[in-house]
Structure 1
Amino acid sequence: MAVEFGLFGGVEARADGRPIELGHARQRSVLAALLIDANRVTSVEQLVDRVWGERSPQRAEGTLYSYVSRLRQALAPVAGEARLSRASGGYVLAVDASTVDLHRFRDLTARARTADDDGTAASLLEQALGLWRGDLFASLDTPWFNSVRESLGRERFAAELDLGDVLLRLGRHAEMPFELAARTREHPLDERLAGQLMLALYRCGRPADALNHYRDLRSRLADDLGIDPGPELRHLHQQILTADPAIAVPSPADSPTTGAHPAPTPVPRQLPAPPPMFTGRDLEVKVLCGMLDPGEPRHAHVVAVDGVAGVGKSALALHASHRMAHGFPDGQLYVNLQGASAAGAPLTPYDVLVQWLPQLGVAGTDVPGETGAASALWRSVLAGRRLLLVLDDAFSAEQVRPLLPAERGCVTVVTSRSVLSTLDGAEFVHLEPLAQEEAVTLLERLAGAGRVVADPTAAGDVVGFCERLPLLLRIVAARLAARPSWSIRVIADRLAEEHRRLNELQAGELSARASLAVSLRETSEEGARVFASLAMVGVTELDLPLAASLAGLPWAAAEAVLEQLVDARLIDSPVPGRYRMHDVVRLYAREQARVRADTAGWSATRRRVLDHYLALTQQAALLLDPEEASALTTGPPPAHPSGFAFDDRSEASAWIDFVAPHLPMIMDELAGSDDLTADIALLALEAYPALVVRDRWTELIRLSSIAVRTARDGDRRVLEARAHNLLGMAYGNTGRLDESLAEFDLALRQWEEIGDRHQMARALNNLGLVARLRGDLPEAVRCHERSILLFQEVGDSNGQARALSNLGLVHQRIGDHDQAIVAHEEAAGIFRTLGDRYRLGLILGNLARSVRLAGRIRESLDRYQDSLRVIRETGNRSGEAEQLWGLAQALHDLGESDLARARWRAALDILRECGDLTAKEVEAILAQPVPQAPAAISRGV
């Protein structure tokens, strides 16, 4: 079994390519210390000092022993290749040094310095530097590890300098300027590095840039150290000034690699190391590998992997590329295009071509100086070859297109936050966040199984706060690694506090905030402003009208900017006209809003949000229940801030269902603004008819409660009374009768104090309803009779008809069916005159039932048919089922059993179609000798 150990970028071990679970960070640090001294005894005192430094626990040796014991168990499957044992006061890890990346790096660099020719030296140094996946044993923080890290950083830099000298002697200067320039930003005062960059620039035909670099370095040396450049750099500067032939591009005859035969075309192997602890993505890996496999039907020429920041695009691309690399015998090329890098501008296609063409044998002097010509040469060089190209972190399709091969023998994998939809012939793999189980598994592998097993609930919470994004989970794991005493619950509780979550999601160079800042940088200034405005209400899913109102734009203009934010992967668009913002993104957007918006800006936005809801709730109410909306409205609908309007009832219904869950929360947020108090209370009144039609009683209770509070705070007695009335109706329709009675009683007393007899009538009618439901039938009659008189007095025929209908139901309950018939007939006449067919159908059904209960059964058959005819016109399916049930009951009373059973079945089939009953429940009811009415038959029979 082949074993490999990694220290660069994180402590890890693999057996036959599969990761070995090594435990938590402190335990891994023991392995790291032993690997650094591989095959040498490390004393217990040394290990304690290395692992804990000055913060060692009281029983450090006992803890160390347990760590070593667990490591020995973890390495048991590879004991033949890696044996951890006790020896003379310490421990020794016996391994083949070549299996440890650190020792392999040192061996390769040593061999390079004694190589017979520059070609061999270059190959060895490139292999050595290719082992670095990141900082040495990242996240291990003790004085000893920090010292070793700094020392090895110097070794790496020395190897980079050695490679630079070798490449210049080989004439490979064309591929060097970009990397050398990046390195000089890290080591701005190193003269050897500066000399390499100057010589590479000069040989690439850029002497002015070489001289400018010298001038900048001389200024920095003078300012920072008070010295001049050394004699070697000054001499090179003079040679560049005089175009000294001694620094010209070396000819093949001058090259130490020249022999009897030309050097073979190199086979590049540039893929970075496979991502450690890659987890999940089984389906995506299978799909992507199939696209990269020439033998598969889905074999592709270009594969573009897209997804939001931190979702793991690069990890997936590298994981699959390593698995399929064997299918590309001419090599693998890799470049980070820096499309989402905070460090600098994205690479240009030409930057990449001048790096890659020399990798395939093109002399640096033969690389054209213009992108189009260099791209054409690139396609010619690739003809007939089979290479895998990985273009990581692309900014746009334009950045990628000049780098694409022309033939299908080569395959290009592109990763990008944006969907590069204009890449002709590309196949696309879209990455969503990890599945919950995969995310927990990744957290377990990153932070240690013990922590997760100890508190799986907290682990689930952490995964939720990280929105199942691998980057955020790695940040949390890095924070836990540096804090071994913290449990998963500690970090979960800290992440739960919204105001600190972004601060918790950063560790070293990893930062959720920095990653999002790069995405925001891709948008226009208008896009950044709109992005910030979307967080001014606390919802993560918005529709286009609300987003336009927040942005202060007409809805068509807002849609164009929102689509720009979708392209930048700052928001998603699950369906047209709807936009979703991940919670972490919302928190970042709110930070941006605080930076951008002054007090006046916040106030204007809040006003637009409230106007948005006032306009659309009133529009929806007038479409869904025009009679009730007209009775409740206080004036014409206000203009919508972005000019949006509903086309029909179905659109209004869909909007109410979408906004109802978060509408109370938004109104509660806005309630803190004194200038909006009255309109917030008014919103509940305007929304009431639409919410009732859509059966949104829970939201109506919350909204009405807010309306009561805001109206009281604003000393608006009329609004408060109306809000109490709404709250009473909402409580009553959800079975909370005592609370309903209390609210209606408060409303009635306030209307009496105000002197509004119309609203007194409405409150009395509602009190009568609750009294009937509570079984207090005499009180119900008293309330309804008094409300009927008041409705007549103020000329509200609709209110009068409703109160009459309710009075008829009370008389039914009492058993005074003749009085019930009189009340229902009078109510039906009024609704017929008003043209309210919906309520007319229901009242005719009540009338038919009263007639049947009065013993006039044959007459009730005609009454039920009248009701069914009207109800069917209005499309009221539940009302149709109720009247069919009553008709069946009347037929049964007449002994028409077969006809009755057919009507019962018809009623139950409607309820099944509406989702109120299952097929099994329907058959169970029909199996009864006399079927009992289900709960969905609202008033019974």
Structure 2
Amino acid sequence: LAARRTWTVSVLAAKLADERRRLDELQAGDLAVKATFELGYGQLERAQARAFRLLGLADGPDISLAAAAAVLDLPVEDTEDLLESLVDTSLLESAAPGRYRFHDLVRLYARACAERDEHPPSERGAALSRLLDFYLATAAGVYAIERPGDRLVDHLEVTKYPGLRFADGPAALDWLYTESSALLACVRQAAGTERLRRAVDLLWAARDLAESGANSRQYETTAVAMREATQAVGDTRAEGRARIALTGFLLVSGRIQQASEEARLAMERATAAADPTAASWAAQDCGLIALHQHRYSDGKVFFDQAIEGFRAAGNGLCEATALCNLSRAYMGMGNTAKAIEFAQNGLAVHVQVGSTMRLANGHYALGVAYVTAGRHIDALAQFSKALTIFVDHRQRLWAGTTHFRIAETHLTAHRPGPAAQHAEQALALGCIGGDQMRGNVLKLLGHSLSGLGEVDRGQACWREALNLYEANGSPEADAVRALLKPATAA
């Protein structure tokens, strides 16, 4: 800028926005950023130079040692020696023990070197393919640990490069949440490549990142990118699965109208592609949407369809989940006895297949059915079991939702004190269902506080709930307005 007085900062920013030209732009006379990198790169040994080039290809904020070993197709010990030697040359940074990262400009230079020096050129794609295989194989293993009995992992794309194995669930979840940003970046990087189907399946296998509330924004961005990428190439099977991943996120965030359209199209694509696994999941999602829209008979039809598909595939865990959801459909139709029966059946299947995290959903569903039947003590016992499991498996949003149900049960039983305590926990954690559910929690908390004589605080909760309902166009707004309306003198 000092040498070009007619340039504005915005002109320079526009030039630097193009990553392919950024290093060339960062030059003034004999001074050039690239020249510094060239000096360091030229002094590397052959294996170091290869590692530098190939690691620069991967998107994401950083990379783990195990993932880097996959990129380089080397044993972990040899990979660590190479990466530590690159740290010594200042071409690579040690982000944390076992994790490495490039400075942004160094990464651009490494990619330029890969395009210029990597032979054969196909090795660039092969390196990213190994990285995607590593993430998919490992994420599938995490999914299997968290959901024993769920056969989804048998219907994912086949991988050639192996993943990590974990001794227990906590270690598996540690890996998933630590790798989330790099994993989702790897998925996005596969758009428009032959790796697209595997990338979509990785997104599906990593659905805990959406359902738990962790990395929600990145997950949504990635799911939308995959939906658009599969549409662009006309891959109906992959598109159906990408839409299922996006539907799951939309349901968690409470965006029911958008979820409805995605689920409908997911069902169409799965049917057209003869993908029964995806079709069963789409039917389940369509049923959940019908419940949200109070179309309980339609929900029953969808859940029956999902149960049939999961049963045919021998997927006991997903069948159990669908049975629990069918319980809610019967509840909505006023058949409490059937609601309890199907919730008990679903819970029994969960126990039979040995599910861990999803067992909580069985207890949760049965608790909801017991509340409807007025069996408050039994309901609280089920919710308590569900809450313990959700917390153990880091399902923050489900834990918050369970606190809401506990609060609801206490308030129904005329215990406003415990109701207020659990409602506040639900607000702190967040809930499945986004702003609509937050409005429900605030409305309940308002009733609880009013029952404790804290009328002003209760009114404040109702006003906040009203704002959320009005923003979402929720019919609940009318009921809250009535609560806020001053009493008319007799």
Cα 1:695–1:633, aligned 2, differ >3 Å: closer, same or farther?
A: farther
Cα distance change of structure 1 residues 822 and 542 upon mapping to structure 2, 3 Å threshold:
same
Q: What amino acid is the match of 2:73?
A: G
Greater CA drift, 770-779 or 685-694: 685-694
- What SS does the aligned partner of 2:100 have? strand
Which residue identity is paired with 2:337?
A: D
Q: What secondary structure sits across from 1:502 in the alignment?
A: helix
Take 1:731 and 1:894, find their aligned partners in 2: how far apart are those partners?
A: 33
Indicate the residue corresponding to 1:827 in structure 2: 346
**1:861 is the counterpart of 2:377:** yes
CA distance, structure 1, for counterparts of residue 171 and residue 76 of structure 2 = 16
Match of 1:490 in 2: 11
Matches of 2:167 and 2:424, distance apart in 1: 34
Give the CA deviation at 1:544: 1.7
| SS state at 1:549 partner | helix
Q: How far apart, in 2, do the equivalents of 1:923 and 1:716 lie?
A: 47
One-letter amino acid matched to 1:682: D
> Residues 492 and 763 from structure 1, CA distance in 2 versus in 1: closer, same or farther, beyond 3 angstroms?
closer
Deviation at residue 595 of structure 1 after TM alignment: 2.2
State whether residues 619 and 637 of structure 1, in contact with CA within 8 Å, keep that contact through their aligned partners in structure 2: no
Alignment of 1:210-609 (within 5 A): 480-598=1-119, 599-609=121-131
Find the aligned partners of 1:529 and 1:762 in 2 and give their Cα distance.
43
Partner residue, 1:810: 329
Unaligned runs of 5+ in 2: 432-437, 453-457, 466-490
Q: Give yes or no for contact 2:244–2:278 (8 Å, CA) kept in 1.
A: no
Number of residue pairs matched? 444
Aligned amino acid, residue 134 of structure 2: H
Q: What whole-Å deviation, never above 9, does each CA across 1:240-277 have from its counterpart, x for those lacking one?
A: xxxxxxxxxxxxxxxxxxxxxxxxxxxxxxxxxxxxxx
The whole-number CA distance in structure 1 between the counterparts of 2:70 and 2:312 is 43
- Mapping for residues 616-635 of structure 1, pairs under 5 Å: 616-628=138-150, 630-634=151-155
Shift of 1:806: 1.4
Q: Distance in 2 between matches of 1:756 and 1:581?
A: 40
Distance in 2, matches of 1:761 and 1:687, equals 18
Q: Name the SS of the counterpart of 1:573 in structure 2.
A: strand
Partner of 1:687: 206
Separation in 2, partners of 1:867, 1:544: 41
Alpha-carbon offset, residue 515 of structure 1: 1.7
Task: State the shift of 1:576 in Å.
Answer: 0.8
Instruction: Give me the whole-angstrom Cα distance separating, in 1, the residues matched to 2:126 and 2:312.
Output: 44
**Is 1:783–2:302 an aligned residue pair?**
yes
Whether 1:656 aligns to 2:176 is yes
Separation of aligned partners in 1, 2:400 and 2:13: 51
Cα distance in 2 for partners of 1:492, 1:608 equals 35
> Measured at CA, do residues 904 and 491 of structure 1 come closer, stay the same or move farther in structure 2, by a change above 3 Å?
closer
User: What is the CA–CA distance in structure 1 between the aligned matches of 2:413 and 2:183, rounded to whole Å?
Assistant: 52
Residue 660 of structure 1, CA deviation: 3.1
Change (3 A) 1:758 1:633: closer
Please give the root-mean-square deviation of Cα atoms over the aligned residues, in Å: 3.8
Q: Does 1:739 align with 2:258?
A: yes
Q: Judging changes above 3 Å, is the alpha-carbon distance between structure 1 residues 911 and 608 closer, same or farther for their aligned structure 2 residues?
A: same
CA distance 1:699–1:623, change in 2 (3 Å)? farther
Give CA-to-partner distance per residue, 1:523-557, whole Å, 9 cap, x none.
43322221122222244522222322233322221
Q: Which residue of 2 aligns with 1:771?
A: 290
1:589–1:792 distance in 2 versus 1, CA, 3 Å:
closer
**Tell me, what secondary structure is at the counterpart of 1:661?**
helix
- For residues 906 and 733 of structure 1, do their structure 2 counterparts lie closer, same or farther at Cα, with a shift above 3 Å needed? closer
Identity among equivalent pairs (%):
24
Q: Does the residue aligned with 2:378 lie in a helix, a strand or coil?
A: helix
Aligned match of 2:135: 613
CA pair 835-540 structure 1, distance change in 2 beyond 3 A: closer
Q: Which has the larger radius of gyration?
A: 1
The code of the aligned residue for 1:764 comes to A
d(CA) in 1 for partners of 2:147, 2:389: 16
| Distance in 2 separating the partners of 1:889 and 1:484 | 67
Letter in 2 for 1:611: D
What is the DSSP-based 3-state SS (H/G/I as helix, E as strand, rest coil) of the residue aligned with 2:48? helix
Equivalent-residue separation in structure 2 for 1:604 and 1:929 (angstroms): 64
Which of 183, 189, 195 is the equivalent residue of 1:669? 189
CA change 1:809–1:602 in 2 (3 A) is same
Which protein, 1 or 2, shows the higher relative CO under an 8 Å CA cutoff with sep ≥ 6? 2
CA contact (8 A) 2:294 2:332 kept: no
**Counterpart Cα distance in 1 of 2:276 and 2:11:** 60
Work out whether residues 407 and 422 of structure 2, in 8 Å CA contact, stay in contact via their aligned partners in 1: no
Whether the aligned pair in 1 keeps the contact of 2:61 and 2:101 (CA below 8 Å) is: yes
SS of the residue 2:207 aligns to: helix
Q: Which amino acid aligns with 1:657?
A: Y
Q: Is the 1:678–1:714 contact (alpha carbons within 8 Å) kept by the matching residues of 2?
A: no
**Does the 8 Å contact 1:527/1:565 carry over to 2?**
yes
Structure 1 residue 559 displacement after superposition: 1.1
CA separation of 1:880/1:901 partners in 2, compared to 1, >3 Å: closer, same or farther? Answer: farther
- State the alpha-carbon separation in 2 of the partners of residues 528 and 508 from structure 1: 28
**Runs of at least 4 residues of structure 1 off by over 6 A?**
921-926, 931-935
Q: Encode CA deviations 1:426-451: one digit per residue, 9 max, x unaligned.
A: xxxxxxxxxxxxxxxxxxxxxxxxxx
| Normalised TM-score (structure 1) | 0.42
**Which stretch has the larger CA shift, 926-935 or 528-537?**
926-935
Post-superposition CA distance 1:724-757 (Å, at most 9, x none): 3333223332333233222322332344445565
Q: What is the letter of the counterpart of residue 136 of structure 2?
A: L
How far 1:658 moved relative to its partner? 4.0
Write the letter of the residue equivalent to 1:568: T
TM-fit CA distance, 1:764: 1.9
Question: Deviations 1:150-190 (Å, cap 9, x if unpaired)?
Answer: xxxxxxxxxxxxxxxxxxxxxxxxxxxxxxxxxxxxxxxxx
2:187, 2:203 within 8 Å by CA — same for their partners in 1? no
Q: Which runs of 5+ in 1 are unaligned?
A: 1-479, 936-941
Find the aligned partners of 2:355 and 2:266 in 1 and give their Cα distance: 27
Aligned to 2:362: 843
Quote the offset at 1:869 in angstroms: 4.0
SS of structure 2 residue aligned to 1:537 = coil
Higher helix share: 2
**Cα pair distance change 1:481/1:602, threshold 3 Å:** same
